[in-house]
């Protein structure tokens, strides 16, 4: 519906006449000592009938007060969505670090994913979400994105610590479910895979040696290499292409790391 028809429909739904809008806006203008808040009978008629006519910010304020709707809702009549400010701020200043004023969609997605976790201590593959959904709470994948599902790194899983910390979410491209020779120079370029084994899920670097799939941990994690018969005991779900991880350890997590290292040291000493 054109914005002028939206404006007229809103006024009629409030059972307010054009004359009443004029009178009420005059009260607002007088209270603020600013005539820009005043909306004449003729001006409102023009706004409601002329598609090229648009209200000023001050008149939009008065209409918001008179119709008892948020001014941001009226702004949307004119294709101005305040919720998109952060989106376009990043577009206009892509090289600048900034503090976002609202919660971006990516973080709202994280909150949704968090609610899918039943056992936070275990690494798991989260339910897939459809590309199209009428539910506002569903995860909406970008059709241009390679992420086809999400994985969660359990609080007991230190395999890729500290590169990927326990409690992290990872985006997985399930089309990349085969190990292929890849040239990499640093640990950040080395492919990370999400795999399913007979006891659950795991995430880490992988190597295939004959019929054995090796799950290789980060060198700082103090976790041992795990070996699975492939594909009987473990299969690759896909390649990790996105990571949402904390840059600090929470206290319980730090204690677990310390305990794990102490136990490892004791075991090494015994051997």
Tell me the pLDDT tens digit for each residue of 104-137: 566 667 777 888 888 888 999 887 654 444 444 4
- Return the CATH architecture of domain 3-83: Orthogonal Bundle (1.10)
- Please give the pLDDT value at position 103: 56
Peptide bond into 162 cis (omega under 30): yes
In this predicted structure, the answer to whether residue 48 has a pLDDT above a threshold of 80 is: yes
Q: What DSSP string runs through 187-208?
A: TTTS--EEEEETTEEEEEEEEE
Query: Domain ranges in the chain?
Result: 3-83, 105-270
CA distance 98 to 114: 25
pTM comes to 0.57
More confident residue, 97 or 134: 97
Peptide bond into 231 cis (omega under 30): yes
The angle that helices 18-32 and 41-49 make with each other, rounded to 10 degrees, is 120
Q: Give mean pLDDT, residues 41-56.
A: 93
Name the fold adopted by 105-270. Umud Fragment, subunit A (2.10.109)
Bridge partners, 205 (sequence order): 216
In this predicted structure, the answer to whether residue 23 has a pLDDT above a threshold of 60 is: yes
Least Cα distance to 223 among 171, 166, 140 occurs for: 166
Backbone φ and ψ of 251, nearest 5°: -55, -45
Strand order, beta sheet including 193-197 = 124-125, 149-152, 169-173, 234-244, 193-197, 200-209, 212-216, 226-229
In this chain, the answer to whether the domains covering 3-83 and 105-270 adopt an identical fold is no
Q: pLDDT tens digit string along 171-225?
A: 899 999 999 888 999 999 999 999 999 889 999 999 999 899 999 999 999 999 9
In this predicted structure, the answer to whether residue 141 has a pLDDT above a threshold of 50 is: no
- Please give the pLDDT value at position 250: 62
Q: Give mean pLDDT, residues 17-25.
A: 96
CA distance 158 to 165: 7
Q: What is the CA radius of gyration of the chain?
A: 28
Q: pLDDT tens digit string along 222-255?
A: 999 999 999 999 999 999 998 988 888 765 554 5
């Amino acid at each position: 519906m054109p914005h002028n028809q939206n404006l007229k429909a809103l006024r009629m739904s409030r059972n307010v006449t054009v004359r009443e809008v004029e009178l009420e806006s005059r009260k607002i203008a007088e209270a603020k000592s600013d005539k820009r808040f005043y909306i004449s009978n003729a001006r409102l008629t023009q706004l409601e009938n002329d598609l090229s006519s648009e209200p000023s910010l001050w008149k939009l304020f008065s209409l918001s007060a008179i119709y008892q709707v948020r001014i941001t809702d009226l702004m949307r009549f004119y294709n101005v969505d305040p919720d998109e400010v952060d989106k376009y701020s990043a577009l206009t200043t892509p090289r600048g670090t900034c503090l976002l004023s609202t919660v971006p969609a990516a973080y709202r997605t994280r909150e949704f994913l968090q609610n899918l976790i039943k056992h936070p201590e275990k690494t798991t593959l989260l339910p897939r979400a459809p590309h199209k959904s009428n539910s506002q709470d569903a995860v909406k994948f970008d059709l241009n994105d390679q992420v086809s599902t999400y994985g969660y790194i359990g609080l007991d899983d230190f395999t890729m610590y500290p590169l990927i910390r326990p409690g992290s979410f990872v985006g997985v491209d399930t089309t990349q479910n085969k190990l292929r020779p890849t040239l990499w120079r640093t640990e950040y370029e080395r492919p990370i895979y999400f795999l399913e084994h007979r006891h659950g899920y795991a995430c880490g670097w992988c190597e295939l040696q004959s019929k054995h799939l090796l799950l290789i941990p980060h060198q700082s994690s103090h976790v041992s290499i795990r070996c699975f018969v492939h594909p009987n005991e473990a299969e690759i779900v896909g390649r990790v292409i996105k990571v949402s991880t904390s840059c600090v350890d929470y206290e319980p997590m730090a204690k677990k790391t310390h305990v794990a290292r102490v136990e490892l040291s004791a075991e090494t000493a015994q051997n």
